[in-house]
Amino acid sequence: MARVAIIGVGQSKFVRGYPGSIRELAFEAFREAVQDAKMTSKDIDASIICSAPEYDKQRSPAGVIAEYLGLTPQPTFYLETVCSSSSTGLKVAYSMVKAGLHDAICVLGFQKMSEITSAESQERMGRGADIQWESPFGTMMPAYYALHARAHMAKYGTTEEDLALIRVKAATYGQINDRAVYQKPVTLEMFKNPQDNMAGPVASPLRVGDCCANADGSSCIIVASEEKAKVFSEKPVWILGVGAASTAVNMAGRDLFSGLTVAVEASKTAYKMAGISSRDVDVAEVHDCFTIAEMMAYENLGFAKPGEGKDLIRAKETYKEGSIPVNVDGGLLSKGHPIGATGGSQLRTIVLQLRGEAGQMQVSNPEIGLVHNIGGVGLYGNVTILGRD
């Protein structure tokens, strides 16, 4: 069976308040990815545009963006699974190439969260989950992840300090990632000082330092058939496994609170398809929208047994030099989380790692990388496994 490759990756710098329109933001990631693939717009025969529509003023952004990128008259469409939109885009692109419909597809993720006012944003946040049964209680994203954090602490004895350690690790690498919105150091002492912003309460037990920041940004991944990859790319990165899952939006409809079932399900599918186990993963990008999300990812992906994620971070095993480096680009906690662009940014990091082009963030000679990208509060989950020749 012919394989499917990623032959180009791009990402804008993630910033607060991008000084341009959404099409201009999209262009930044697109140009980098297409140049990386040594292609032109004419070599790409379809595009998938990914974002979370509640932040867009433009209705149906796909057509507008495709035209700006020079991707007409090729087909384009819009796709969303909130925060996991662009890794869902990758899965759909993989399927379309595999089916023989197209042989080079651009997956463009973007979000200009500053497109709407902060009051509008506050209003939308209230509608982030089940609007019929949960929003009337005044729920927010951090509070949902806080429910998971509390459950994890009650079941396994995980502490607030364990979660802070994840932020300290993220900041270690955020400082060396020039695309990150937050590049300052973060120390454990900051979490221990009640006067420090990092220690400020948000939704117990989560604090300011446990939460990622909003940002504007774009990402772009060029997916190609094996035949086309061999023409254009010297270092194709192969898509070995794509797993995806969903669950009840309402917390009352779920059974697991110390983890995310979508990550367990999606990783099972992806590992099986790739013919590997968690032990074979050399470097991973996980969806750390909150520190607890990374802790649960360690366990849901099989890097640690349930409840033992805290041991992994305490022993620094998820640092660059550790047994399973995780988010050595700073993660969402440092890079920021421009919803529709996030999955593509994670994929880009792993592609650069597998090509040995991650600069200061490079881990030692990885062969297999994994991307864990979650939409909503564990509502959607995508796990993608990539490998090199």
Partner 1 sequence: MAKQEIDDRFKKFGTVSFTSISKVNDFIGYLEKGQVMGTKCKKCGMTFFPPRADCSGCLSSDMDWMEVTGEGTLLTFSKLQYGPVGFEGELPYTIALAQFKDVKVFGRMSKELSDADVVVGMKVKALPVQLANGKISYEFQKA
Count of CA atoms in the C-beta half-sphere (13 A) of 57 = 10
Q: What's the closest the beta carbon of residue 325 comes to partner 1, in angstroms?
A: 30
Per the CB < 8 A criterion, the answer to whether 135 and 236 are in contact is no
Q: Choose between 42 and 117: whose C-beta lies nearer to partner 1.
A: 117
Annotated catalytic residue: which of 102, 148, 287, 337? 337
Q: 337 catalytic, yes or no?
A: yes
Q: What's the closest the beta carbon of residue 290 comes to partner 1, in angstroms?
A: 12
Q: What's the closest the beta carbon of residue 34 comes to partner 1, in angstroms?
A: 39
Amino acid (one-letter) located at 121: S
Task: Report helix, strand or coil for 238.
Answer: strand
Annotated catalytic residue: which of 83, 106, 220, 289? 83
- The token duo for 103 is 């042989």
Q: Choose between 150 and 320: whose C-beta lies nearer to partner 1.
A: 150
Q: 287 catalytic, yes or no?
A: no
Amino acid (one-letter) located at 261: T
DSSP 2-57: --EEEEEEEEPPPBSS-SS-HHHHHHHHHHHHHHHTT--GGG--EEEEE--GGG-S
Distance CA 332, CA 223 (A): 23
Distance CA 243, CA 268 (A): 7
Per the CB < 8 A criterion, the answer to whether 183 and 70 are in contact is no
Q: What's the closest the beta carbon of residue 206 comes to partner 1, in angstroms?
A: 8
Distance CA 49, CA 283 (A): 27
Q: What share of residues in the chain are helix, strand, coil (percent, to 5)? A: 45, 20, 40
Q: What's the closest the beta carbon of residue 253 comes to partner 1, in angstroms?
A: 8
The whole-angstrom distance between residue 74's C-alpha and the CA centroid of its chain comes to 27
Q: What's the closest the beta carbon of residue 261 comes to partner 1, in angstroms?
A: 14
Q: Choose between 147 and 176: whose C-beta lies nearer to partner 1.
A: 147
DSSP 333-352: HHH---HHHHHHHHHHHHHH
Q: Which is it for strands 76-79 and 46-50: parallel, antiparallel or unpaired?
A: parallel
Q: Choose between 178 and 255: whose C-beta lies nearer to partner 1.
A: 255
Per the CB < 8 A criterion, the answer to whether 388 and 234 are in contact is no
Residues that bind partner 1 (CB under 8 A): 119, 122-123, 125-127, 131-140, 142-143, 146-151, 154, 201-206, 250-254, 257
Amino acid (one-letter) located at 288: D
Q: Choose between 70 and 306: whose C-beta lies nearer to partner 1.
A: 306
Q: What's the closest the beta carbon of residue 350 comes to partner 1, in angstroms?
A: 32
DSSP for residue 182: -
Q: Choose between 141 and 383: whose C-beta lies nearer to partner 1.
A: 141
State the helix-helix crossing angle for 141-156 and 291-300, rounded to 10 degrees: 50
Q: Choose between 121 and 362: whose C-beta lies nearer to partner 1.
A: 121
Question: Which are the catalytic amino acids?
Answer: 83, 337
